[in-house]
Amino acid sequence: MSVGITRVGVVGGGQMGAGIAEVCARAGLDTVVCEADATAARAARDRVASSLERAVRRGKLDPAAAQEALGRLVFTGELDDLADRQLVVEAVIENAGAKTEIFAALDKIVEDPDAILATNTSSLPIMRLGRATGRADRVVGLHFFNPVPVLPLVEVVASLHTAPETVSAVECFTAETLGRTVIRSRDRAGFVVNALLVPYLLSAVRMAESGFATAADIDTGMELGCAHPMGPLRLADLIGLDTVASIAESLYDEFREPLYAPPPLLQRMVEAGLLGRRTGRGFHTYAED
């Protein structure tokens, strides 16, 4: 089934959506990116163009290939422009209400009844999003990792309603067309990676919150003492502290384990708009790119 997927839609042109759109375009796919309005759509195009330029500067991509990839992308502020897509990947803010609303709308807009509707959610139940549509058997989790053009892993998550052929098609498409490494997960909060990663990040937040060690020392300790490429607090800043908090809340809601509860410091930083790298300040301070 995945052999026929040549028209892809991405809802959301932020950090994750832009990355997903980029890898699709670089794989030769006709890709439409939908944002909230025309202004946000232009910003999404700039985001992808900048990423492609960085890949060229670093010798990872030929300049002609970068231009060809950008030429395969269309950016729009109208969800209706996704009507003819064979696969649509939702990649908006990690908010259950927002995602459910988008899936209900896509169910009415996407014309092909065999089209697959996928979500890049980090932690929300796939079944809940599927039930917002009349095609829950065609809804699946397709969780990429940031930065999408660099990290090769994708989690494929099936709900109790997802048809086996949907999972097989998405897995084949992701592995063969996009060239990613696929792992499967059951439909539970956090899936595989975040269920393991987020408690570790929260432990680092609690350590900083208690004054036991500074953010810099915590990160240096894990980088040089455990050979991690990035310390936990710098990684949390890269993911986005609001996203980390949202995943933690989803994990805690499902399992009621204290280790999943977001620490007060994390919640206060989110309330203050100190979300990490993209806002210039989180546990560390960042200069503009």
Distance CA 16, CA 119 (A): 11
Q: Is the dihedral of CA 246, 14, 83, 98 positive or negative?
A: positive
Residues marked as catalytic: 122, 143, 155, 194
Distance CA 100, CA 133 (A): 9
Q: Strands 87-90, 7-11: parallel, antiparallel or unpaired by DSSP? A: parallel
